[in-house]
């Protein structure tokens, strides 16, 4: 079995579902002959036809809006938004329609829609190409928000997202697309949504992160291990709804928690997790919860992007702070 | 049944692809003193493009979007603008920006990943490059409203592509400007491609210019590779706008001779033979032939211009490469008029943890 990278895993999952379920259709800009600007849909139009892999005109509002109509009428659309910085014109449809159709009709109509979109910085991309909008989306009742952090989880979670009966925002960290390869078996086995994945066990503190930041988070755990500190690392994976029990159980054992995310700090998902720990895990905490996040600044252009992105050094410093507290 | 409205779309072209006049020319087209600066600007744009791509290939610039083949549009339109007008460009209109006084080193800074590239030393009222497609049409319509409200004889000029015509912002901005009779010129550079999506898959309409009709705006199609035609229709549209006649949409028909950006490989989706054919319509040769016919141009002038443009571009590259790196603090210091107290601690943290490679490297290629 060949080792593949994250973007190839996305391609593999899309191909698997297109072959398995004829209701699945892909739509988006440049996803056909061009195979997507990141090659996520390479070869799929040739294989499944222009009727099921649709190059749309340039309009994100209509990509998501038409996908909602398709979804309600029995198709299973997987829309691609070329970069998450161009998702914003579609927010109206996501918030007012995709997220509410089931509830508004008391279950008569539903919206089994997936919106895939690359997110995050660190690849020296142009302006507006490095956004992290997950908290905005997670704040919308009725949307699921998923972010894979490895080829295997991208494959399994995307299968699950496509098979899910409700709308799923599937955010793909561009920095992870080609960062490493992993063996992925194309067996059609979905991974569960709505659960965290514990990437490594630890006893001294819990590091909670998702997406590309797990790269730095794991490196920080390595650095701490070299000092004899044992960090547990949790990949949240489904950001909404949040699997709080897994995080609480971990923190109950370690007593310390550092949350790491690339998105801006204020009203980020780190705040949600920290608040939940305060509500339900306060008595097991031995130190104040720490957040290591992007700053509350506009995502800078490429020259400064690594000043913005949380570094291993910042994560280690936050971890030390929790260890020094008691 | 009765017909309640009738429309037509005119196509404007003065010079054929060889530079032969197809009929009577507008006055300026007989005047080398008017034409040569525009030829120079087109030549400079092309020189800059070639250099920018070379810089990107050698890791000294980020992703870059070339204007190759489309130089006549930006130059023809911007040369019809007054300094006090305002430009709302897409990311592919450095031809217009150079005419407006944006410096090549500024453009390089932008594409090199440095916000200071959008802090133009001149052209202080012009908007920066617009990447979220089509949104600039609304901003330009709003600017035009401001000019009209204050009875200023200024116009707002915005550029977008054929792909951009599919965005709601394009229709919405045009519609507002028409209702307001605002002094707006929208230039749609129809280069036949939106990355890999061909014009035929973008819109079922016969022309892009007719999209103006639904908004009650005058729409005209022009040969975008004919500098004379572009400049002529832009002058008329701007004169009309300043006189209170409302907005115009110009569809400038052209062809994207290069890849979408340095991150793109167009051979994946279009036939290089077709691109080769399109080279016979490119705008520089056409205007040069016309200048030669006027007796105003020859090989020595061409060589001198080539040298001058190379020197200008090289000096700009020098200025770009010797720009001190951006500071970590810069991402905080321009966020608000004054930094809110709540952000001060974050600023301190950023300075404390700033990597030693502060300012990063300008290379890379995505998007
Ligand atoms: C709203 C939005 N969606 C998608 C993109 C990604 N993108 C950048 S350029 C481009 C194609 C634009 O084509 P067109 O409007 O014809 O302009 P051209 O690049 O040909 O000048 C796309 C899809 C974007 N920048 N903004
Ligand atoms: Mg185009």
Ligand 1, pocket-test mutation among A86, A91, A125, A126, most atoms within 8 A of CB: A86
The verdict on pTM exceeding 0.95 is yes
Let me know if residue B244 belongs to a domain. yes
Whether residue A223 contacts residue A216, with contact meaning beta carbons closer than 8 Å, is answered with no
pLDDT per position as a tens digit, B159-204:
999 999 999 999 999 999 999 999 999 999 999 999 999 999 999 9
CATH of the domain at B135: 3.40.50.970
Q: Per-residue DSSP letters for A254-318? A: H--EEEEEEEESTT-HHHHHHHHHHHHSGGG-SS--EEEEE-SSPPPPGGGHHHHS--HHHHHHH
pLDDT per position as a tens digit, B124-141:
999 999 999 999 999 999
Let me know if residue B362 belongs to a domain. no
- Put simply, the answer to whether A37 touches B367 (Cβ < 8 Å) is yes
Peptide bond into A241 cis (omega under 30): yes
Let me know if residue B336 belongs to a domain. no
pLDDT of the residue at B354: 87
With a 6 A CB cut-off, is B163 part of the ligand 1 pocket? yes
Confidence of residue A127 (pLDDT cuts 50, 70, 90): very high
pLDDT of the residue at B367: 45
Whether residue B62 contacts residue B365, with contact meaning beta carbons closer than 8 Å, is answered with yes
DSSP β-ladder status, A238-240 and A144-146: antiparallel
Bridge partner residues of A26 (DSSP): A53, A78
Contacts of B191 in chain A (CB under 8 A): none
Looking from the CA of residue B92, the nearest atom of ligand 1 is 21
- A296: contact with B, CB 8 A cutoff: yes
Asked whether the predicted pLDDT for residue B366 surpasses 60, the reply is: no
Question: Average pLDDT, whole number, for chain B?
Answer: 96
Give how far B253 is from chain A: nearest CA, Å.
18
Let me know if residue B355 belongs to a domain. no
Q: Which residue of B has its CA nearest to A293?
A: B346
Tell me which residue range forms the domain holding B23: 11-321
- Put simply, the answer to whether B350 touches A295 (Cβ < 8 Å) is yes
Task: Tell me what percent of the residues of chain B surpass a pLDDT of 70.
Answer: 97
Task: Tell me what percent of the residues of chain A surpass a pLDDT of 90.
Answer: 99
Let me know if residue B277 belongs to a domain. yes
Ligand 1, pocket-test mutation among B130, B133, B202, most atoms within 8 A of CB: B133
- Put simply, the answer to whether A33 touches B111 (Cβ < 8 Å) is no
Tell me if residue B304 falls in helix, strand or coil.
Answer: helix
With a 6 A CB cut-off, is A134 part of the ligand 1 pocket? no
Minimal Cβ distance to B343: which of A34, A37, A296: A296
Asked whether the predicted pLDDT for residue B359 surpasses 70, the reply is: no
Contacts of A30 in chain B (CB under 8 A): 195-197
Asked whether the predicted pLDDT for residue A96 surpasses 70, the reply is: yes
pLDDT per position as a tens digit, A178-190:
999 999 999 999 9
Let me know if residue B311 belongs to a domain. yes
**How much distance in Å is there from the Cα of B42 to the middle of ligand 2?**
19
Interface of A with B in 181-210 (CB under 8 A): none
**How much distance in Å is there from the Cα of B366 to the middle of ligand 1?**
14
With a 6 A CB cut-off, is B130 part of the ligand 1 pocket? no
Minimal Cβ distance to B62: which of A30, A126, A307: A126
Task: Give ipTM to 2 decimals.
Answer: 0.96
Let me know if residue B44 belongs to a domain. yes
Contacts of A58 in chain B (CB under 8 A): 133-134, 163-164, 166-167, 194, 197, 202
**Rounded to whole angstroms, what are the CA distances from B39 to A127, A132, B125, B231?**
31, 44, 25, 12
Structural domains present in chain A: 3-183 (3.40.50.970), 197-324 (3.40.50.920)
Residues near B36 by Cβ (< 8 Å), separated by ≥ 6?
B291, B296, B297
- Put simply, the answer to whether B364 touches A125 (Cβ < 8 Å) is yes
**How much distance in Å is there from the Cα of B195 to the middle of ligand 1?**
7
Does A124 qualify as catalytic in the annotation?
no
Give the alpha-carbon dihedral of B26, B29, B33, B34, to 10 degrees. Answer: 70
Neighbours of A81 (CB within 10 A): 23
Let me know if residue B218 belongs to a domain. yes
- Largest interatomic CA distance in chain B: 76
Nearest CA-CA partner of A68 in A107, A41, A36, A102: A102
Structural domains of chain B, count: 1
Confidence of residue A325 (pLDDT cuts 50, 70, 90): confident
Tell me if residue A119 falls in helix, strand or coil.
Answer: strand
- Put simply, the answer to whether B346 touches A32 (Cβ < 8 Å) is no
- B220 token code pair: 């005209």
With a 6 A CB cut-off, is B73 part of the ligand 1 pocket? no
Tell me if residue A196 falls in helix, strand or coil.
Answer: coil
With a 6 A CB cut-off, is A88 part of the ligand 1 pocket? no
Nearest CA-CA partner of B250 in B239, B265, B237, B263: B237
Contacts of B328 in chain A (CB under 8 A): 304, 307
Nearest CA-CA partner of A26 in A62, A87, A65, A79: A79
Exposed / middle / buried, residue B292 (Cβ in 10 Å: 0-12, 13-18, 19+): middle
Nearest CA-CA partner of A90 in A27, A45, A157: A27
- Put simply, the answer to whether B91 touches A126 (Cβ < 8 Å) is yes
Contacts of A37 in chain B (CB under 8 A): 195, 263-264, 367
């Amino acid at each position: 079995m060949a080792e593949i990278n994250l973007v190839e895993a996305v391609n593999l999952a899309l191909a698997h579902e297109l072959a398995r379920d004829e209701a699945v259709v892909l739509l988006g800009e440049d996803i056909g002959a061009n195979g997507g600007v990141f090659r996520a849909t390479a070869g799929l139009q040739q294989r499944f036809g222009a009727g099921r892999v649709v190059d749309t005109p340039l309009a994100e509002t209509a990509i998501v809006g038409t996908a909602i109509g398709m979804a309600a009428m029995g198709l299973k659309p997987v829309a691609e938004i070329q970069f998450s910085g161009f998702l914003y014109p579609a927010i109206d449809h996501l918030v007012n329609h995709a997220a509410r159709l089931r509830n508004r009709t008391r279950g008569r109509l539903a919206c089994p829609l997936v919106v895939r979109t690359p997110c995050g910085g660190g690849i020296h991309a142009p302006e507006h190409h490095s956004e992290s909008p997950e908290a905005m989306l997670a704040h919308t009742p009725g949307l699921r928000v998923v972010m894979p952090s490895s080829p295997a989880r991208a494959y399994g979670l995307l299968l699950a997202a496509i098979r899910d009966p409700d709308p799923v925002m599937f955010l793909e960290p561009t920095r992870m697309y080609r960062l490493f390869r992993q063996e992925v078996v194309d067996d059609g086995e979905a991974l569960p949504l709505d659960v965290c994945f514990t990437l490594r066990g630890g006893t001294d503190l819990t590091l909670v992160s998702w997406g590309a930041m797990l790269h730095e988070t794991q490196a920080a755990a390595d650095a701490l291990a070299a000092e004899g500190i044992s960090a547990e690392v949790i990949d949240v994976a489904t950001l909404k709804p949040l699997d709080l029990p897994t995080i609480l159980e971990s923190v109950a054992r370690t007593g310390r928690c550092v949350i790491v995310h690339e998105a801006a700090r204020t009203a980020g998902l780190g705040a949600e997790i920290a608040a939940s720990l305060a509500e339900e895990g306060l008595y097991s905490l031995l130190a104040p919860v720490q957040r290591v996040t992007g700053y509350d600044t506009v995502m800078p252009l490429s020259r400064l992007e690594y000043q913005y992105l949380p570094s291993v050094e910042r994560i280690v410093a936050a971890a030390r702070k929790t260890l020094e507290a008691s | 049944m009765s017909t309640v409205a009738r429309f037509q779309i005119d196509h404007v072209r003065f010079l054929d692809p060889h530079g032969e006049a197809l009929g009577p020319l507008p006055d300026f087209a007989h005047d080398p003193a008017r034409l040569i600066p525009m030829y120079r600007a087109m030549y400079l744009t092309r020189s800059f493009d070639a250099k920018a791509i070379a810089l990107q290939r050698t890791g000294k610039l980020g992703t870059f979007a070339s204007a190759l083949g489309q130089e006549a549009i930006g130059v023809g339109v911007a040369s019809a603008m007054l300094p006090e007008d305002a430009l709302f460009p897409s990311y592919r209109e450095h031809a217009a920006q150079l005419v407006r006084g944006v410096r090549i080193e500024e453009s390089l800074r932008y594409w090199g990943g440095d916000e200071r590239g959008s802090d133009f030393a001149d052209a202080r009222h012009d908007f920066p490059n617009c990447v979220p497609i089509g949104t600039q049409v609304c901003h330009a319509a709003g600017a035009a409203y401001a000019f009209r409200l204050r009875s200023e004889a200024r116009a707002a000029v915005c550029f977008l592509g054929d792909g951009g015509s599919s965005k709601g912002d394009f229709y919405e901005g045009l519609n507002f400007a028409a209702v307001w009779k605002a002094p707006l010129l929208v230039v749609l550079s129809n280069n036949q491609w939106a990355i890999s999506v061909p014009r035929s898959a973008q819109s079922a309409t016969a022309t892009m210019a007719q999209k103006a009709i639904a908004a009650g705006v005058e729409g005209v199609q022009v040969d975008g590779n004919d500098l004379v035609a572009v400049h002529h229709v832009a002058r008329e549209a701007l004169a009309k706008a300043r006189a209170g006649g409302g907005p115009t949409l110009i569809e400038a028909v052209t062809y994207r001779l290069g890849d979408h950006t340095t991150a793109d490989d167009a051979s994946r989706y279009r036939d290089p033979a077709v691109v080769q054919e399109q080279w016979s319509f490119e705008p520089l040769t056409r205007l040069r032939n016309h200048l030669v016919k006027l007796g105003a141009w020859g090989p020595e002038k061409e060589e001198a211009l080539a040298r001058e443009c190379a020197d200008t571009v090289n000096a700009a590259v020098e200025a770009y490469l010797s720009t001190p790196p951006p500071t970590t603090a810069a991402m905080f210091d321009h966020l608000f008029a004054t930094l809110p107290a709540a952000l001060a601690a974050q600023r301190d943290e950023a300075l404390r943890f700033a990597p030693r490679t502060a300012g990063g490297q300008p290379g890379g290629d995505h998007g």
